[in-house]
Structure 1
Amino acid sequence: MYVFDILRKKNLILTPEEWVRQHWIHCLHAHKSYPMSLMKTEGGLIMNDLQKRSDLLIYNNHGEKILLAEFKAPSVKITSSTFEQISNYNTVHKIPLLLVSNGIDHYYCKINFNLGTYEFISDLPIYNKQT
């Protein structure tokens, strides 16, 4: 079974994790006004000399990264190791908003790099062109 990835413009094998990613892409666009043209899936990064891939990156109109998302299959419980994974990726990216979801449980985190703090928030903000 395949799903059409509207960002990459191709059919992908519909894995449980891909199902979660595709739903979030459409949800962020339809309900939070994040432009699909500013979304990037499977963004590459180098960590400890290893090639890694972040599940979803979203940019603002200025080309700055504003949201990093990590998705798991619905059968995978969100644990501290999931947050450790996205936190490690974020040491490279330095993005102020994090999203972790398995399609059932969703967590949102806002990072303040100036103060070196973070806080869990109840929902993601609506996209703002000035962000």
Structure 2
Amino acid sequence: MQKLNLPDVELKIKSKENKLFIFDPFRKKDILLTPEEWVRQHFANYLICYKNYPASLTVLEKELILNNTKKRTDILIYNTLGTPEIIVECKAMDVKITQNTFDQIARYNLKLNANYLIVTNGLEHYFCQMDFKNQQYVFLKDIPNYNP
């Protein structure tokens, strides 16, 4: 897989029936290794190991119902009160980050009301803080470190 614009992480990868699988420590099972999963695992590791967000408050592929349709957030981090703090939308490395990507995560946030939104393809990362009063997001240079 392609090197990402994230710190290296030691991931458990194995081959089964000519397909590569990666062990997901959050879901505690092997997951088919797709480019998006590669980004998801690296970014989750970055948030936990470098930004100090607790793994215990981190969920991957959290299902939500939006307009009677099942959707999934790539990474969802809760605060200590159990409410969503950060939503991360991961794309494969070759997927360009567009306004549609921001619209997608903003739709998820209509339901979740997280304070921070992150969009990444592993090479480019965009960090936003919600301004609920003005119904917009404000771009940040980086996501803040975990502060309980």
TM-score, shorter chain, exceeding 0.5: yes
From 86, 101, 111, the equivalent of 2:105 is 86
Give the superposition deviation at 1:109.
0.4
Three-state SS of the structure 2 residue aligned to 1:2 is: strand
From 100, 124, 130, the equivalent of 1:105 is 124
Q: Which runs of 5+ in 1 are unaligned?
A: none
Match of 1:127 in 2: 146
> Any residues of structure 2 matched to 1:67-82 within 5 Å, and which?
67-82=86-101
Mapped partners of 2:42, 2:51: distance in 1: 13
Match of 2:137 in 1: 118
> Any residues of structure 2 matched to 1:52-71 within 5 Å, and which?
52-71=71-90
Q: How many residues align?
A: 129
Three-state SS of the structure 1 residue aligned to 2:50 is: helix
So what's the TM-score if we normalise by structure 1? 0.95
Q: Which runs of 5+ in 2 are unaligned?
A: 1-19
Mapped partners of 1:114, 1:38: distance in 2: 26
Q: Deviations over 1:52-108 (max 9, x none)?
A: 111110011111210001000001000111011101111111111000000001000
> Any residues of structure 2 matched to 1:16-55 within 5 Å, and which?
16-55=35-74
Runs of 4+ that moved beyond 6 A: none
| Identity within the alignment, % | 47
CA RMSD of aligned residues (A): 0.9
- Residue identity in the other structure for 1:4: F
Mapped partners of 2:35, 2:136: distance in 1: 33
Larger Rg: 2
Q: Deviations over 1:1-47 (max 9, x none)?
A: 11110101111111000000000111111100001110011111111
Give the superposition deviation at 1:118.
2.0
